[in-house]
């Protein structure tokens, strides 16, 4: 059982919890809690950690490596929650084939640009899986999808929905540039619908039965001009009263499930 905070494994766990750069460098992240550990694909789970109390009262999942048991105090140090369940895993960040999703028939995508709140982003992954989306693309300065809070909010959907990063910044760890993404969508006959407040049509009047991508921007600033230039049309979710906009995750859910509704009739 480990009891010292100076142990190198413990120091690495803390760095993985706190730093996106460390997660990218090592290609690893932390999945904490019973549900997430149980749902982790076998090929992603690298190392299991449990508190002393949890190990005494629960049967630990079988893994390729011996589970590491931590004192209760030490588990609190590495945990990202105030009331930890006593189990977490270090997992491998999955690598999705770059253009595989574009070969699908009439795919459904979510493009999330500059979503800064990890909880919102995790919810968007969950909604994407629920609506049958084929992939999520993270544009610009979006929150790290493998931060502990995003992973918890996604509730396992992050393990199953392919995620790709999109950026034009020099040296950015990205899979696509904005231009490459737009060109691939055009070649694959995927229509990009930007959620915007101006020059927009009622979202319910558009046809989403073919290849479809929804662009959702930052709640405070909306979509950037670069992102809007990718869209073939702009859609809006009409609202009554004095409300001008809604939570980005809620907006993405409304659009994705409208597409899912339309596709059920194909």
Helical axes 248-263 vs 118-131, angle rounded to 10°: 10
Q: What's 244's domain CATH number?
A: 3.40.1280.10
For residues 122 and 220, membership in a common domain is answered with: yes
> From the first residue on, what is the mean pLDDT of each consecutive set of 10 residues in the chain (266 residues)?
87 96 95 95 93 95 87 95 95 90 96 96 98 97 96 96 88 78 96 87 95 93 92 91 85 97 88
Instruction: Please give the residue range of the domain that contains residue 27.
Output: 8-92
For residues 61 and 153, membership in a common domain is answered with: no
Task: Tell me the Ramachandran region of residue 27: left when phi exceeds 0, alpha when psi lies from -120 to 50, beta otherwise.
Answer: left
Looking at residue 170, its pLDDT comes to 58
Asked whether 112 and 252 are in contact (CB, 8 A), the reply is yes
End position of a domain, from candidates 67, 92, 117: 92
Q: Tokens in use for 5?
A: 């905070």
Evaluate whether residue 166 is within a structural domain.
yes
Evaluate whether residue 193 is within a structural domain.
yes
Evaluate whether residue 2 is within a structural domain.
no
Pairing outcome for strands 108-113 and 87-92: unpaired
For residues 81 and 157, membership in a common domain is answered with: no
For residues 67 and 177, membership in a common domain is answered with: no
Measured over the CA atoms of residue 260, residue 193, residue 244 and residue 242, the dihedral's sign is negative
For residues 147 and 172, membership in a common domain is answered with: yes
Looking at residue 78, its pLDDT comes to 96
Cα 25 to Cα 11, 12, 16, 28, 244: the distances in Å are 15, 12, 10, 8, 40
Looking at residue 61, its pLDDT comes to 85
Site of tokens 């995790």: 122
For residues 208 and 173, membership in a common domain is answered with: yes
Evaluate whether residue 30 is within a structural domain.
yes
Q: Within 83-131, where are the H helices?
A: 118-131
Q: What's 36's domain CATH number?
A: 3.30.1330.30
Evaluate whether residue 3 is within a structural domain.
no
Is 140 in a helix, a strand, or coil?
coil
Looking at residue 191, its pLDDT comes to 98
End position of a domain, from candidates 55, 73, 92: 92
Site of tokens 């899912």: 260
Distance CA 130, CA 143 (A): 21
For residues 130 and 44, membership in a common domain is answered with: no
For residues 38 and 113, membership in a common domain is answered with: no
Pairing outcome for strands 108-113 and 211-216: parallel
Asked whether 186 and 225 are in contact (CB, 8 A), the reply is no
For residues 113 and 219, membership in a common domain is answered with: yes
Looking at residue 200, its pLDDT comes to 80
Pairing outcome for strands 190-195 and 68-70: unpaired
Cα 214 to Cα 21, 42, 55, 237: the distances in Å are 28, 32, 44, 13
């Amino acid at each position: 059982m480990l009891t010292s905070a100076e142990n190198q494994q413990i120091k690495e766990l803390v760095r993985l919890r706190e730093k996106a750069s460390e997660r990218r460098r090592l290609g690893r992240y932390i999945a904490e809690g019973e549900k997430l550990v149980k749902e982790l694909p076998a090929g992603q789970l690298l190392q299991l950690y449990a508190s002393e109390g949890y190990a005494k009262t629960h049967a630990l999942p079988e893994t390729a490596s011996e589970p590491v048991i931590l004192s209760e105090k030490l588990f609190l140090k590495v945990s990202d929650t105030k009331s930890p369940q006593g189990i977490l895993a270090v997992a491998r960040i999955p690598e999705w084939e770059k253009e595989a999703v574009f070969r699908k028939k009439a795919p459904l995508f979510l493009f999330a640009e500059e979503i800064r709140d990890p909880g919102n982003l995790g919810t968007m992954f969950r909604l994407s899986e629920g609506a049958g989306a084929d992939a999520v693309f993270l544009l610009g300065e979006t929150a790290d999808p493998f931060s502990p809070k995003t992973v918890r909010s996604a509730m396992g959907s992050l393990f199953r929905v392919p995620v790709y990063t999109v950026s034009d910044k020099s040296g950015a760890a990205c899979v696509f540039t904005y231009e490459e993404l737009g060109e691939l969508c055009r070649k694959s006959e995927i229509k990009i619908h930007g959620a915007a407040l101006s020059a927009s049509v009622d979202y319910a009047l558009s046809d989403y039965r073919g290849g479809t991508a929804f662009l959702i921007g930052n709640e405070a600033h909306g979509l950037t001009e670069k992102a809007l230039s990718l869209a073939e049309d702009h859609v809006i979710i009409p609202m009554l009263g004095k409300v001008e906009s809604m939570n980005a995750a809620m907006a993405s859910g409304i659009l994705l499930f409208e597409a899912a509704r339309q596709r059920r009739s194909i």
